[in-house]
Structure formats: C-alpha cells, structure tokens
Amino acid sequence: MRTYFKFSLLVAAAALASAAFALEPPALSGLIYTHFGYDLSSAEAGELEGGSEFGLGRCYVTAKGSVHESVSYEVTADVGRDSYTYYTYEPEFDPVTGEVIGLIETAHTQTGKLGFFLKYGYFDVSDLIPSHNLHAGLIKPPFAGYEHSLWGWRVIRRSAFFERGYGDTADLGVGVAGGFADGLIQHDFAVLNGGSVGSAEDPYSGKDVEYRLSVFPLVGDDDWAGLSVNAVAKRENLGEKVPAGAPKNPVTIYGGLLGLKHAFTNFGAGYYLRTAGEGATKYDGNVMSVFATVHLRATEGMTVHPIARYDMVEPNADMDDDERTLLIGGVGFKFFAGKLALIPNYQTEAYKERDPLTGATEDKSTDYAYLHCQFNWP
C-alpha cells in the first residue's frame, strides 16, 4: 500500500473520530464525472479506428467540519479508476554520429480497476498567523487547483499545469495561505513530498517547494473583482540523494497566469517554463494555455456555456519539431442551478513523430468526440 495512502487513512480516521467532538456535524458533498468518447483519429496501416468507451472519470465524496473555532478539516474520498498519466524524457541520438540531438517525451498512462482512495485529508488552522491559514496532511498544492478553478471544466480535461506534469492537485505536505490589503494580494506556499500522490515516493528523492502569488488589481470593483495576475514558482527534488558522481535531477518551474472570473465569462492565459536535469538528460520545456468560457442564461432552469481552449507544449526548447498542440471546443449545458451539466465537446491533439532511422518527422493527431456529464450535490 502506498505511503501517502497509509498516511491519508490516519488523517481521515483522526478527522472522523474528532467529529464526535466537533462544533457541528460534518457537511457532506459529492461530485461525479462520467463520459462517453468516440475516437475520430485517422486510421493508419495496421491500426483500427472508431473505438468508443463509457468512462467514470471521478466520484468524489467530501466531508468538511471543525473541531474547534480555529481548527477545521477536509476529507475527500475518490471512487474511480486507479489511473494517472505521467511523462518521461529520454535523450534522442543521431543515428549516424551517436550524439544527443534532442529529447523524446513519452506519456505513460497506468489504469487499474475501480477502487476507493483518498484525494485529500488535512487539517486547517486559522488565527495563528493574522489573515493566514496553516494546513497539513494530504493537502492542495498552491497552483494546479487554482488554475482548475479558472478553467472550470475539470470534467473535460485537467488544466495545462497539471496535465503536463508541472504540478499536482494533491500531495502530502504542509502549507500556509492568506492575503493582505483586503484581498488585493493573496499567496500560498507549501513544502511537499513530491512525486505525485498517484505513485510511490522514492525515499531518496528530495522535497518540493511551491509558491503562488496572486494580485487582484480591481478587488473593489463589483464587476471586475475577479481579474487576477498570478505567478508561480516551484523547485523540485531539493535534497535529492544520488550515488557519488551521478547527475542530480533538479527541477525549476516558473510562470504566470492572467485570469478573469466574471458573471459573463471565465478567461485564462498562462505560460510556464520548466528546466530540469543535468548532462545529457537536461531539457528546457514550456507550456502555453489559453482558455475561455462564456456564461449565457437560456431559460429559468438552464444556462449555456460555449467553451474553447488551446494548449501548446514544447518538451525541449532546444529541439525542433517536438511541440504538441491541444484544441478543445464544446458547449456546456447546466441544469438545476448547475447541479447537472452535459458537455458535448471535440478534442484534437496534434504532434510530430520522428523516424529514429531517417530523422524525418510526420504529422500525427488524435481526435475525439466526447459527451461529458457532471453531477454535484447538495
């Protein structure tokens, strides 16, 4: 059993046991993601097309409560497939000279059976530091979840920062978050175990530190209070242990996000850079993501939300023809005060595949039509 899972169970048990002494009963809520997908990718020699699937993306059940006027807790159980995607990078060699000419990005998805595991399990303490909260356990790191809140359609796809492995939405650690100047400045800092909660932590890997700074320049304006300028900085593998003479794997991530939450629209434009590795495994990558949603009221019980998103990912800035692009277009229909959402959408991801013998590249793409469904309560 994974280390994070054992620790999370202890946090959950402590939180549930404390409910008997709580100021009030825990508040329960739930969230379910499901989808139907159809593969529209062009058929290639020896491959099939037209695959389809029904899927259960996530099923969250959350309990929130307090054991003291300054101490609260959150426990979120996740019922879904034990699956996650991670990216590895390997040097690419010239077939003639044998020299390293670039880096190959490979996506790995591990999928298991439906099961129960913890997403979050942490305590939150206020009043120790003015206008700040301390949290510890299986916590929410500073940036990925914040970008998700702007994107607003986690049911369709994860945000770019999380999607490309720049940050996680949950990890073991401690953090402090708060603000100044009546909400003009908000920030969040955390020390994290690293390695993602979806995989076992390497005891020799270092810890991660992550910081988000958000400025709301029009915080006093009722219409434009949701305009934000955000920055993120992250350092991974601090204190990593390696054999004598072996290269370490330091990772530095930084970037910015312009965001807007408005009654009429959500908008975000982010750009993130990542530098990692030493020697032949060193690479510099970047991710750009632009997304927007329009909010329209159709009838008394239904709202309509046109959705668009474009991502451009460059795993290695020193290598040509390795970029990947993602385009999402769709419309969300929300019913019953937003408790039920149906989102038909189209997604296409384009990339170039390099022939290892000739070095020639060929344009490739994966194309899917989806119907996503989201249900939340109460």
User: What per-residue confidence (pLDDT) applies to 172?
Assistant: 92
The share of the chain scoring above pLDDT 70, in percent, equals 81
CA-closest candidate to residue 250, choices 281, 224, 272: 281
SS3 at position 120: strand
Confidence of residue 85 (pLDDT cuts 50, 70, 90): low
95: left (phi > 0), else alpha (psi -120 to 50), else beta?
alpha
User: What per-residue confidence (pLDDT) applies to 91?
Assistant: 77
Helix or strand (DSSP H, E) at 38: strand 24-39
Which span out of 8-22, 28-42, 192-206, 242-256 was modeled with the highest average pLDDT? 28-42
What is the C-alpha to C-alpha distance for residues 339 and 359, in angstroms, rounded to an integer?
51
Confidence of residue 37 (pLDDT cuts 50, 70, 90): very high
> Per-residue pLDDT for 12 more than 60?
no
What is the C-alpha to C-alpha distance for residues 10 and 192, in angstroms, rounded to an integer?
18
User: What per-residue confidence (pLDDT) applies to 84?
Assistant: 61
Structure tokens at 273: 């850079």
- Domain boundaries, given as residue ranges, for the chain: 3-377
Helix or strand (DSSP H, E) at 148: helix 144-151
User: What per-residue confidence (pLDDT) applies to 197?
Assistant: 61
User: What per-residue confidence (pLDDT) applies to 68?
Assistant: 87
Q: How does pLDDT run across 235-249, given as a tens digit for each residue? A: 998 887 877 877 778
Burial status of residue 46 (CB atoms within 10 A of its CB: 0-12, 13-18, 19 or more):
exposed
CA atoms within 13 A on the CB side of 335: 7
Q: Are 155 and 343 in contact (CB under 8 A)?
A: yes
> Per-residue pLDDT for 322 more than 80?
no
Tell me, which fold does domain 3-377 have in CATH?
Porin (2.40.160)
> Per-residue pLDDT for 16 more than 90?
no
> Per-residue pLDDT for 330 more than 50?
yes
